Structure 1
């Protein structure tokens, strides 16, 4: 059971930061609260009493998204369901809808935020590999006196290990900014120890763009999670594919390289087998979706 002495619902970022700066030790920030409630139930953390809970779900500055200069800035309160239902996000972030399908269920997706998933910094977090593949940056705010100041850093650097981030006392994540990649194909591969509400043992995100002929890799982005202390970008595999003629043999050879990156302490052989299959499947699946995206654009152009 979760209880608290004080429950605050600020409506502005400045108000939230002031409350957070003055909150007693052990207080917590929540948005969707989809992680803290299961954590506090009997059998995990047991009965938990927190001094102050600060609910960020009504903070106006954390809502919605903006698209500019080939990037999309996602407010920290953007929920997972938005990647399935918002056509702009689904088209511009082609791996996110596939990741969202794997993320829990409909009810949780309506509450859970992408930013919260990143802040938890689980090695098996669903959101981190696709955000890293999309060159994601995280925007963090704090108060300097009474003035709100922000800093930005790559998500790949923000997460430093299991449950560890670069978030400092008094800071709040306000946004995640990623590349907008319309015309790319996306994929997300995931496996766990159960069929429903799967927690990843291994996951792989991919976004791929081909040249106009559909026969050459123009761009490839790949990232893995669940194989080490933090998710990782597969830059060497990307370089091996980028600019090359697409072939099953090339994809098979490229998928063998990341096997050596598995650094987990458990089920190492299993994870290595899965990684090789997932990288291959992610690239092939993303290529198929890239072809579908190209066909859709041709139809839109013809009907314009």
Structure 2
């Protein structure tokens, strides 16, 4: 039986007969659009349940009861499994084929690691899609669950973890270091542009300066932010600024809309506006606010 037939064919029992139990992982069918991350590998997918669980459980004591299940048995064409603990269930769908090039380029080209590693990632041989299908309602907790699972693949020839929603990626060893360390987890959680909301810099033809923006904040019900900076050297300043603003909005529940202003120190005022008509490159499925910094004349 083919992979797709086994995944999407007729089920052996109706959905109403399934129940949540301590020893059975059940997907949350109420999730409309599952949050996802991807992993790209050198060579074919090659991992087993025992070693994978061992790698996962070493990351954090809270994962000691993690389970791995293959609802359709072993698949020759790829892999399909559920990994879960507590409220979390993550669906793994693996394919022994390179990751889609267009999506990969969006996430690898703007990333801040070596060109040599980028070339290795571009020449990946297989990939794994991770979907959050658990029961925690907090998007941040969902992302952390996905990242824990992604990090445990470091010993299995994984190259990088891809966040298509955030237009970003990180080498898998960096993800592993972040998720295995308290300070690293804090960086992921309290500075969203580290990975969960991408921070991208790009040049636009016939535009003086460098556009910088976040991607993927909409899954947190937050706006993305963009700015036309003077040079690439201002990247760290705006990375920190956008991270701080996103964290403030998430913590406080406050909102920001075009026309809002905020003091940003050094006698400067930040004002927000919607993208202009010719700023087509800022218009996507999310809600983008353009930042402009002016001297405070009051």
TM-score range, shorter chain: 0.3 to 0.5
